[in-house]
C-alpha cells in the first residue's frame, strides 16, 4: 500500500535543542495527524490538522498542514529526554469520514541529556 515519505528516519540531538521532521505525499490529504509511539506501546495522538495552511500547537509541539495538502511538518521545541520515541505522521484521504490512515515510516528521536 501507499506510504508517506517521512524524514529524517532518525535523529540524535542534545537536550534543549529544537527538532523538526516532515512528511510528504504524492496524494492530497484532507487530514494530517502526528502520533508518538513508545516501545511496546500503541501510537498516541499528538496533533490533528484539518485545513490547508493550518498551524496548530500542543505544548512544545507545533505542526502545520501544508498549503498544497501534500505535506506536513512537526516541530518540537526545547527537547527533553521524555521526547524520546518514534514519531509517525499519518494522512487521511478526502471523502472518508472515518477512513483509513496512511502512515509514514516514522522518525526515531533520541535525546542526550
Partner 1 sequence: GAVVSQHPSRVICKSGTSVKIECRSLDFQATTMFWYRQFPKQSLMLMATSNEGSKATYEQGVEKDKFLINHASLTLSTLTVTSAHPEDSSFYICSAAGLAGVWSYNEQFFGPGTRLTVL
By CB under 8 A, the residues from 34 to 93 that bind partner 1 are 35, 40-45, 48, 50, 88, 92
Residue 45: CB minimum distance to partner 1, A: 6
| Alpha carbon separation from 57 to 2, 40, 73, 87 (Å, rounded) | 28, 27, 12, 16
**Binding segment for partner 1 among 11-19, 27-35, 53-61, 64-72 (CB under 8 A)?**
27-35
Q: Residues binding partner 1: what is the number (CB under 8 A)?
A: 23
> Which residues are bridge partners to 71 per DSSP?
24
Amino acid at each position: 500500500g501507499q506510504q508517506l515519505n517521512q524524514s529524517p528516519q532518525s535523529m540524535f540531538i542534545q537536550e534543549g535543542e529544537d527538532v523538526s521532521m516532515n512528511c510528504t505525499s504524492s496524494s492530497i490529504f484532507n487530514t494530517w495527524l502526528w502520533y508518538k509511539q513508545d516501545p511496546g506501546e500503541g501510537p498516541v495522538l499528538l496533533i490533528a490538522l484539518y485545513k490547508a495552511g493550518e498551524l496548530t500547537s500542543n505544548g512544545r509541539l507545533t505542526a502545520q498542514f501544508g498549503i498544497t495538502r501534500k505535506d506536513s511538518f512537526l516541530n518540537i521545541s526545547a527537547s527533553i529526554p521524555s521526547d524520546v520515541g518514534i514519531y509517525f505522521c499519518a494522512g487521511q484521504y478526502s471523502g472518508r469520514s472515518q477512513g483509513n490512515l496512511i502512515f509514514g515510516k516514522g522518525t526515531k528521536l533520541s535525546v542526550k541529556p
